[in-house]
Amino acid sequence: MSPAEADEDRLRRDAVAAVRRLDALGLNRGSTGNLSLRCPRDAVDGMLITPTGMGGEGLRAADLVWVGDDGAVDGAWQPSSEWPFHRAVYRARPDLAAVVHTHSENAAALSCLERGLPPFHYMVAVAGGDSVPCTPYHLFGSDALSQAVAAAMRERDACLLAHHGLVAAGRTLAQAMKIAVEVESLCAVYLKLLPLGEPPRLDAAQMAAVIDKFRGYGRARRR
């Protein structure tokens, strides 16, 4: 196995483990979620993405589908029908290497109100700003949805898709997973508050201080 093949093999195994974790956490409802990892081959940018309609239980590393930036597909299965917006995120954000998408219950519920998360809790800054936006509704797999996701993800590491679910991305798969889990949890808390009225919001300076502190947190620190 060449070094490049070994790298891709590791990405495939990481992806399978992440899908199983989404299942275990209850975020991958009925195999509706999907995830991808940036995976260039030679000089061609591309990604490994979960196949369409396949949940964590039967998923094997070999089932991941490679999709090139030009749309070329290499694999035994069809890639997730939502691969176009994964590509749109990688094109919009060269710094990102993993995209996680779920129809998890709380994110989907809030998205059906066509609302994102305001700065009601400091952890909203996990997505890199003082809100998690909600993009307008567009048909899954459509160019319009890809454009809307790319526009939102240029400013944030996560967004909600109206009447659909959530997208989270990271420089690593672990980071994308962490953001997806956190946004789902924040959506649960926000939905719990809404019947009591719109909660008070942290102000711009308070959120800026959190974002600033998170910048230092992401890096490993030697003592």
What residues are annotated to the active site?
A: 82
What phi and psi values does residue 51 have, to the nearest 5 degrees? -70, 160
For the chain, how many residues are written?
Answer: 223
Distance CA(88)–CA(71), nearest Å, equals: 12
Q: Which helix (H) or strand (E) holds 189?
A: helix 173-193
- DSSP character string of 121-161: SGGGGGGSSS-B-EEPP--TT-HHHHHHHHHHHTT-SEEEE
Rg of the chain on CA atoms, in Å:
17
